[in-house]
């Protein structure tokens, strides 16, 4: 891929990561927070892929989805709104 395109995609994805990380701390609903963390792990998997580390990308995607599933399982037990 063209190096400039890779740089632009990197900047876009890393900026998106910062936005998601700030959004997770502001969201009141626990279910939305878990889903946002899933989006975070998928985005950082794309960043690993751009940095030519497909091994880390596979691990990050699988572990992120697994942790999100476990979090949603816990949230279904304790309720969505926790002050």
Partner 1 sequence: MTDFVLKRMVALVLPFVQMLGLYVIFHGHLSPGGSFSGGIITGLSLIAFSLVFGLERGHEKISERLMGLIESFGALWYGAMGLVGVLRGTTFLMNKGAGVPLGEPGRLFSGGLILLITLGVGLKVASTMVTLFNALMEEEE
Look up tokens 């878990």; give the residue. Answer: 34
The nearest distance, CB 70 to partner 1, in angstroms, is: 6
74 binding partner 1? (CB under 8 A) = yes
CB nearer to partner 1: pick between 23 and 37: 37
CB nearer to partner 1: pick between 39 and 72: 72
The nearest distance, CB 38 to partner 1, in angstroms, is: 13
- Judge residue 82's burial from the number of C-beta atoms within 10 Å of its C-beta, 0-12 exposed, 13-18 middle, 19 or more buried: exposed
15 binding partner 1? (CB under 8 A) = no
Q: How far is CA 33 from the centre of its chain?
A: 10
Nearest residue to 9 via CA among 43, 59, 41: 43
Q: Is 29 helix (H, G, I), strand (E, B) or coil?
A: strand
73 binding partner 1? (CB under 8 A) = yes
Contact positions vs partner 1 (CB under 8 A): 54-55, 57-59, 62-63, 65-66, 69-70, 73-74, 77
């Amino acid at each position: 891929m063209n190096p400039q395109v890779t740089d632009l995609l990197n900047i876009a994805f890393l900026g998106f990561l910062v936005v998601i990380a700030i959004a997770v701390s502001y969201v009141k609903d626990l279910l939305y927070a878990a889903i946002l963390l899933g989006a975070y792990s998928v985005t950082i998997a794309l960043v690993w892929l751009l940095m030519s580390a497909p091994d880390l990308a596979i691990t990050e995607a699988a572990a992120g989805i697994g942790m999100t599933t476990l979090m949603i399982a816990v949230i279904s037990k304790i309720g969505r709104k926790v002050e």
